[in-house]
Chain A
Amino acid sequence: MPVYEQGYEDYSGPRRSLKLRWLPLFRDELTPFLKKRRFIILLMLALVPWLYGIALTFLHTQLGDGSGMKEFIAKLPVVDEKLFAMLLSNGWDLFLLFIVVIWVGSGLIARDRRDKTLEVFLGRALSPVQYLWAKGLTLGLFLAVFSLLPAFVLVVFQVGLTGDPWWLISHSRVVWGTLLYSVLANGSMVLFVLALSSLSRSPRVAGLLFIGIVFLGDMGCGILYLITKSPTVWFFSTAKEVSILADRCLGVPVSAHLALSTPFSILFFLLMAGGGAGVLALRFSGRRVLR
């Protein structure tokens, strides 16, 4: 046995708690997107429908009385749960949301698999859960721009312009319903996309998988509905389920042709989230994802 110097000493400087090790990874994921002008424009475009809500608030509160537009304004929708449900699941935002999911989500794990950086990350004192949390939070934060953030701004505008804090009490469902919708829809979407991203080394393939599942699912449901006229077939349509979920969370009656029972809708998102979590658990528990 050779004699060694034994001069080595463990790093003794300040060290972040193990629980917060994911923070640099989260920041590293987030920053490049925030530096992309096209991406920021895309996020801004998502706010356009919500400007309609702000405009309605403005019209009702500032020009409602004695402006000569009273009759016109009275015909306009009021800012309530129904408007929030409509804004949360409007087609424009859903389209942009899918683009963001593909743009950000498809590469979250696939890029690390392609660049082989996943081995370096998981070889450090960073658990797979922390790794996935950092990745998921990145996408979740961007998805919040489509729901939580504008909804919060609209609530602030409504309360601020009416000067009536009681509006918040009488429409409390707007707050908790939006929150519930965001957690369910965005959370399951994040888990689903992370799972898809973990299946490939190519962000493009993961993105195509997502497009395939979502759009082919919608198309298939549309065709089935034409044939059967049964609302049950919309069960596999992501866009329709998002719309149903928004209505259910905000307590708005669901349109007749989408009138699936609530358990069906919940089951859809549970399947999405559970399936995603299951795939991730399988891929990461024995580290099969590294192969």
Chain B
Amino acid sequence: MIKVQKVSKWYGLVVGVNRISLELEPGVTGLLGVNGAGKSTLLNLMAGLLKPSSGSVSLDGEKIFANPDALRKVGYCPSPDSLYDDLTGVEFLIFMGRLSGMTRKAALEAADRALESVAMGEEARKRIRSMSKGMRQKVKMAQAVIHDPEVILLDEPLNGMDPPSRAQTIKAIRKWGEEGRCVLVSSHLLHEVESMTSRIVLVHHGKLLASGEVPQVRKAISSRPMRIFIRVADGRRLAVELVAWTSVHSVSFGKDAGSLTVEVTDAADFREKLTLLLAERETGIEILNPLDDNLSAVFSYLVA
């Protein structure tokens, strides 16, 4: 749906985004990167707020920048507070709905729907000035979806939210993804991105480091052996067998002889051999747990 092709954005001599290409499919995608990695620039380019220095961003084949027809299908929730403090949450949403071309009545109904989707009720009738950071975030998210966009771009939507609000927001984001919308969420909070989706886009120094499902990305990091924890009745015996395999880089013991941490260079080969071993005899394996097949490990391996 939304396609980024060899996009670069320069701010004078500083490069914000460097030849990034990616395609967003329906569902939720996490946009990860450290501060200054280029996440917000990439989101601004996708929201049609910035003109790419080179390359193009298109939605359903139409360029996004300066194209109201394409922008109509995009909902953007920026990271900083982008609200009129003197209005109530509902008034602000009606205003946004009207800017999207709705009649007042339709905007009011859409505002109610949008507020419901972010689990916000009567609090939305308060002046934005008197709202907490979490509530303001929810109003900001509601304005991004008030016009039922196909593509929803959320820049750090969980910032400043308390745990219950975070849980509600994550639920809302997942729901939008399940409805078939393209949702791109930028965040620093890896575990929360992980609870929304396993599909990520990782940027660093303005470049695309990786994109895809976390396990696939992890698999592609061949320079780092995959670490697997094994809890087994007779650790020594298993360790002797494992070190002989070519796919095993190292085996180390934990606190006791039954806890092993195996570093594997070829996960597929290891799985195949382990399956054969389990079929041949009783090994007494109680726990088999990949230690770095998660977002946090992928992030640290690629960015650190």
Contact = CB atoms under 8 A, between A and B. Distances in A.
To the question of whether A and B form a pair in one complex, the answer is yes
A7 B143 contact: no
Question: Which range contains the number of B residues in contact with the other chain?
Answer: 35 or more
B103 A14 contact: yes
A124 B147 CA distance: 9
Nearest to B51: A286
Interface string B141-154: 00100011010000
A220 B73 CA distance: 52
Question: Interface residue tally of chain A, by bracket?
Answer: 35 or more
Contacts of B201: none
B234 interface: no
Given A7-B179, A124-B71, A125-B72, A287 B51 contact: yes
A9 B49 contact: no
A15 B101 contact: yes
A25 interface: yes
B258 interface: no
Contacts, number: 121
A116 B80 contact: yes
Contacts of A126: 68, 71, 99
A16 interface: yes
B27 interface: yes
A226 interface: no
Interface string B270-285: 0000000000000000
Contacts of B83: 115, 117
A105 B180 CA distance: 43
Nearest to B52: A286
Interface in A11-28: 11, 13-18, 21, 23-25, 28
Contact of A120 (B27, B85, B143): B143
B51 A127 contact: no
A124 B78 CA distance: 12
Given A13-B102, A14-B102, A28-B95, A120 B50 contact: no
A125 B110 CA distance: 17
B81 interface: yes
Interface string B113-151: 000000000000000000000000000000100011010
A24 B74 contact: no
Interface string B67-109: 0110111101010111111100000000110111111001000
B194 interface: no
A123 B49 contact: yes
Contact of A116 (B81, B98, B177): B81
B25 to A, nearest CB: 7
B216 to A, nearest CB: 12
Given A6-B179, A124-B96, A291 B11 contact: yes
A125 B72 CA distance: 5
Interface of B: 11, 25-27, 44, 47-51, 66, 68-69, 71-74, 76, 78, 80-86, 95-96, 98-103, 106, 110, 143, 147-148, 150, 176-181
Interface of A: 1-2, 4-11, 13-18, 21, 23-25, 28, 32, 115-117, 119-128, 285-287, 290-291
Q: What are the 4 A-B residue pairs with the smallest beta carbon separation, nearest first?
A: A24-B98, A8-B179, A125-B68, A123-B76
